[in-house]
Amino acid sequence: MTAAQAQAWGGKTTPDLEEDDLRYFCQIIEERAGIVLKPAKHDLVKTRLRSRVTANGLSSYGDYRQHLQSLAKNDPEWQIFTNLLTTNKTDFFREPKHFEYLVHDILPAWLKTSQKTFKVWSAASSTGEEAYTLAMVLGRYLPKDRDFKILATDIDTSVVEAAQNAVYSISKRSEIPTEYQQSCIDIGKGEARGWFRIKPHLKEKTVFKTHNLIERTAPDEGIFDLVLCRNVLIYFGADNIDFVQKKIYSTVKPGGHFFIGHSESLQGLKHNWKPVGPSIFRKGS
Ligand SMILES: C[S@@+](CC[C@H](N)C(=O)[O-])C[C@H]1O[C@@H](n2cnc3c(N)ncnc32)[C@H](O)[C@@H]1O
């Protein structure tokens, strides 16, 4: 922050976030993305939106609220607002039991069918680690005469862009089991030192797009053998969890599967999935 900006805020480094402005920001992010910001996350609202107050040349969160209220629904500032309030934590091979279930249960059954292409949707894909993990696993375990396609979507345009780059800090390399590393990633040299990239033959199987899970429409890519919607339902209220599980149900093939995060649950909802493992569900054939 410049000295002039600090002065505009009465010498304070951060303006106060008034209760009614906080309530407004929380209400809008729930309406737009389904994300319920619990009191423990309220400090995060202040920290994350601070940069937008300064970037717009404003002096308080109340001014930023008024600024947002004056904008058209499709103004780019709304997307920036949404991007700032998402939580994007993810890892390669996160919750590895799901990938073990894919290898030992789902794929052997699928290989007994005559289908050619195994189709997966990584819904809420963040920076792409989940989608590329799927590509690594499917690339390793599917025979040459079978193919796979991965659709990966997220509401946050900045993570979708990062995922499309397929370049990660070398510090994340250890998340990838050693037996996958040689065939799945290229380690950067020279100017790219400190980074690795996903090998092109895996990257090209993965399409990243923006998609809002709480919107009525499903992706155009048709129906899937497997949908992962992990570690995002935890931020939603019961109505949106119900809406999303129903929408995903309509995109899964009969006999196909649905994974949610290990700390998430469909408990208390009336649904048609058959639970077949920890946070693993199957659609009846
Ligand atoms: C914690 S990350 C989970 C990433 C990955 N699925 C995993 O389990 O590692 C949650 C992601 O959900 C996305 N998200 C939040 N609300 C969303 C919505 N309404 N539609 C689509 N994605 C959403 C966020 O942008 C964030 O990238």
DSSP 253-277: EEEEEEEE-TT---TTS---PEEEE
What gap in Å lies between CA 133 and CA 186, rounded to an integer? 15
Q: Which sequence spans correspond to the domains of the chain?
A: 3-85, 97-282
- State in Å: Cα 261 to ligand 1 middle: 11
**Domain spanning 3-85 has what CATH number?**
1.10.155.10
* Average confidence (pLDDT) over 243-250: 98
The pLDDT of residue 15 is 83
Q: How far apart are alpha carbons 71 and 85 in whole angstroms?
A: 18
Ligand 1 neighbourhood includes 87 CB (under 6 angstroms): yes
| Alpha-helix residue ranges (DSSP H) falling in 34-96 | 42-55, 61-70, 76-85
* pLDDT tens track for 83-92: 999 999 999 9
Model confidence at 221, pLDDT cuts 50, 70, 90, reads confident
Rounded mean pLDDT of 53-81? 96
Axis crossing angle, helix 76-85 with helix 61-70, rounded to the nearest 10: 130
CATH of 97-282 among 3.30.360.10, 3.40.50.150, 3.40.50.300, 3.40.50.970: 3.40.50.150
Nearest CA to ligand 1 atom 2: 88
- Computed over every residue of the chain, the mean pLDDT equals 95
- Do 53 and 59 meet the contact criterion of CB atoms below 8 Å apart? yes
pTM to 2 decimals? 0.94
User: pLDDT per residue over 6-28, tens digit each?
Assistant: 555 555 567 889 999 999 999 99
Going from the Cα of 85 to the center of ligand 1, the distance in angstroms, rounded, reads: 11
